[in-house]
Structure 1
Amino acid sequence: MTNSTSQAEIVRQSLKRRYRKERRFRAYGIAAIAVALTALVVLFADIIGKGYTGFLKTTLTLEVTFDPELMYLEDPTDPAQLRNGDYLAPLIAALKKELPEVSGRRAERALKGLISSYAASDVKDLVAADPAIMGTTQRLTFLASDDVDVFAKHRDDASYSIKLTEQQQAWALTLLERGIIENSFNDVFFSNGDSRDPGHAGVLGAIVGSLLTMAVTLLLSFPIGVSAAIYLEEFAPQNRLTDFIEVNINNLAAVPSIIFGLLGLAVFINLFGMPRSVPVVGGLVLMLMTLPTIIISSRAAIKSVPPSIREAAQGIGASKMQVVLHHVLPLAMPGMLTGSIIGMAQALGETAPLLLIGMVAFIVDVPDGFFSSATVLPVQIFLWAGSPEQGFIERASAAIMVLLAFLISMNALAIWLRKRLERRW
């Protein structure tokens, strides 16, 4: 009796230890998830905290008189006069009307520091488009300078460096109180390419470049990857050569992306003489990087199709090709699409391979074709993040938010396709 009691006690103690280990393991798992979520929240809070102001622009709205004498522009239809006119003068004059205490050349030079360097070009474009505007007074809204932009958004934040002088800050505060300087949605950010002035820098060129590059990657990697997966899984004989190919495909999926950049530089640019910094070359490099992922995911999707489907099709007289094309491929396509979208999302966020093929160039114009000079969103973020101007740091964080929106959308699409098209057996 005593022996059976002691055995039961041993079992109870063993169960208690087992349950304690299980609770500890569960606590460790919950703690790990909590740490990961906390890090994710901190990351997103930092990006959003620095980047939301990148979606705002600072503008001045003034009554501007197009005085021919002040602008040295008696005949706006004369190309020589149009080229040599003073288009900043009417803007300075309009500002002096709002700040009558400004007098002297030194104060006027300080006043220029409130206006974007591109504002004069905007005035010139207005005159060139409509010469009849000369001699009239128009209410114009134009961008403020980068220093005023930082001051208007962060004047109460001591962590930001305000480069305006005390006099310029006083003028800016006066104009802010009168509603002449105001913040609004930054449509320029989504309608312009890159610029050396943060106020005129936008992501349109990088977005178009990314879309063109991804189009080349998808058009090449998806059919090649799916075809390779079908051959390896359904038609290739099981021998040493096939095993060697499979091992190398799995190894290529783990190769650092910069290696593919070196391969693209050596083959596509140095050997074939293709131009640098164009979407075609970028797409070819990312295609090489994405192919292993698509092949592996496509093979897994093909393996998930039950053998009974193949046997039933062969039983009614279908050939091997008909079995694959009419039965296996349609049933495996949801998994193939999911893997391809995830691979494309990975390619969209890559920077290192594109730096090596010259897509780090400063590109102002929006690309209009696959052979136009272009950059992509990750590289644009890399360029802006390395700039000392505070305005570029804001736009880098805003561009990160745009890139994250694309990545989240692509992953959400992959999840939706998987749930919508998957078959349960």
Structure 2
Amino acid sequence: MTDATPEMIEKGMIEAATADTRLDRLQNGLKARYARERRFRLYGVLAVALAIGFLALLLGRIVTQGYTAFYAHEITLPVYMDPARIDRAYPQGANYQLMTAEQELRRMGVTDDARGTKALAMRSLFSSELKFRAAERVRENPALIGQTVAISAPASDEADLYYKGEISKATPADQRRLTDEQIEWLDRMKAEGAVRTHFNTALFTNGDSTEPELAGVLGGVVGSALMLLVTALIAIPIGIGAAVYLEEFSPRNRITDLIEVNINNLAAVPSIVYGLLGVALFINWLHLPRSSPLVGGLVLGLMALPTIIIATRSSLKAVPPSIREAALAMGASRTQTVFQHVLPLAMPGVMTGTIISMAHALGETAPLLLIGMVSFVPGVPHLINEPAGALPSLVYIWENASERAFHERTAAAIMVLLAFMILMNAAAIVLRRRFERRW
């Protein structure tokens, strides 16, 4: 072996130093990359946590404001059916509310003035439902006239809020609608066992009403159901048919490219524009009935079409080309290949997109406001051409009402609407997992 020369030693030292430098750079680069990855993961966790926090805050606010609407208070009082004030031939003409208020004041030992001011104050604590229930009892059994009968009726909206703790006696009198004397009467009736707390079935069995204690969501639920029925009958077959044609049969040229671009653009058009289209086309030109589920369904159908077409085309594209090639190789026609092989395999995605578009249509409000579904409709619709409300418009109407008791019912209606949307989205997820096939 020959001894190393100084030049070789120096060269080896330089190479070793260079290798150490490269190793340090590599290690520093790895540390920086791992640090960036950790920061990215942290940002992702923070973003998810922030989204969950805002969602929890929103849902918590809705629940805390609306859970009180799911229970109500009913007042049961003995009422003497005074023959001097009740006409046997026309029992519904008697003023049962005032008669009940006057008798309750006498039982409490309260002396009224000549104008009956205190009787009117007492009467305002009972819902107008009292007169209908009392008149119905007398109409069914006229022998009750001259007897004392126990009549139950919902408490008025202000009385109900007081029993729920939403109104406090500690609040200055000029900042609440109940006087100190009315609060004292309510306390006495509750202490005597005349007040009962129960589940508010009227919220789900009644239509809209000008009196909050009698207002319910049934009219809005039925109106939304009829509207979605029209939307589904129009948007689903047309949307799926258009998607199948564009994806499987249409020639690739400028016209189809233009159609595809416009479909994608229509999916991003604000919903209020569809409302304007519905007013111009269906109401002003075709003269269809305003405020009806028919017009609402047609407008929402136009709005849901682009979403259904895009979702269906994406599902058709996800089917492997080998399915088409195998069917054609076995002698199947193009139509048989599409409708007997490709479309059934794409159906899970099609159903998912369809249900999600229907859930989106269920929550739309702006188009309904423009076609008149914001008007007050007290009954429950039975046909698609009758005036009707919808759950989103009902939320809008109640939130803008002056009565304080409507605000809790607004939150309750939102909870019902969210429940329907969650069910529809859950159905979409279940159907997709149930029928999804992996390639």
Deviations 1:208-265, CA, capped at 9 Å, x for gaps: 0000000000011000000001000000000000000000000000000000000010
The equivalent position to 2:221 in structure 1, one of 207, 212, 220, is 207
Distance in 2 separating the partners of 1:205 and 1:272: 26
Q: Does 2:277 match 1:263?
A: yes
Q: Structure 1 residue runs of 4+, over 4 Å off?
A: 155-161
Q: Which has the larger radius of gyration?
A: 2
Name the SS of the counterpart of 2:269 in structure 1: coil
Q: 1:102 Cα deviation (Å)? A: 4.7
Question: Which position in structure 1 is the counterpart of 2:17?
Answer: 2
Q: 1:322 Cα deviation (Å)? A: 0.6
Q: 1:17 Cα deviation (Å)? A: 0.7
Question: Which position in structure 1 is the counterpart of 2:12?
Answer: none
Distance in 1 separating the partners of 2:238 and 2:171: 52
Question: Which position in structure 2 is the counterpart of 1:369?
Answer: 383
Deviations 1:13-59, CA, capped at 9 Å, x for gaps: 01111111111111111111111111111111110011011112221
TM-score normalised to structure 1 length: 0.95
> Match of 1:96, as an amino acid?
L
Q: Does 2:87 match 1:87?
A: no
Instruction: Tell me whether 132-141 or 217-226 shows the greater mean CA deviation.
Output: 132-141
Distance in 1 separating the partners of 2:106 and 2:408: 32
Distance in 1 separating the partners of 2:308 and 2:380: 30
Q: Does 2:30 match 1:30?
A: no
The equivalent position to 2:403 in structure 1, one of 389, 397, 401, is 389
Cα contact 2:78–2:148 (8 A) shared by 1: yes
The equivalent position to 1:250 in structure 2, one of 248, 264, 269, is 264
Deviations 1:370-422, CA, capped at 9 Å, x for gaps: 11100100000000001121111111110000000000000000000000111
Cα contact 2:97–2:128 (8 A) shared by 1: no
Q: 1:98 Cα deviation (Å)? A: 4.7
Cα contact 1:150–1:162 (8 A) shared by 2: no
Distance in 2 separating the partners of 1:159 and 1:269: 50
Q: 1:90 Cα deviation (Å)? A: 4.0
Distance in 2 separating the partners of 1:210 and 1:378: 9
Deviations 1:321-357, CA, capped at 9 Å, x for gaps: 1111111111111110100000000000000011111
CA RMSD of superposed structures (Å): 1.7
Question: Which position in structure 2 is the counterpart of 1:42?
Answer: 57
Question: Which position in structure 2 is the counterpart of 1:273?
Answer: 287
Distance in 2 separating the partners of 1:297 and 1:155: 47
The equivalent position to 1:115 in structure 2, one of 109, 126, 129, is 126
Gaps in structure 2 of 5+ consecutive residues? 1-15
The equivalent position to 1:142 in structure 2, one of 134, 148, 153, is 153
> Match of 1:54, as an amino acid?
A
Gaps in structure 1 of 5+ consecutive residues? none
Identity %: 48
Distance in 1 separating the partners of 2:79 and 2:319: 71
Q: How many pairs align? A: 419
Q: Does 2:69 match 1:54?
A: yes
The equivalent position to 2:182 in structure 1, one of 168, 174, 179, is 168
Instruction: Tell me whether 348-357 or 103-112 shows the greater mean CA deviation.
Output: 103-112
Name the SS of the counterpart of 2:208 in structure 1: coil
* Mapping 1:326-365, distance limit 5 Å: 326-365=340-379
Question: Which position in structure 1 is the counterpart of 2:10?
Answer: none
Cα contact 2:97–2:126 (8 A) shared by 1: no
Say if 1:295 and 1:360 are closer, same or farther in 2 by CA, change over 3 A. Answer: same
Question: Which position in structure 1 is the counterpart of 2:109?
Answer: 100
Cα contact 1:151–1:162 (8 A) shared by 2: no
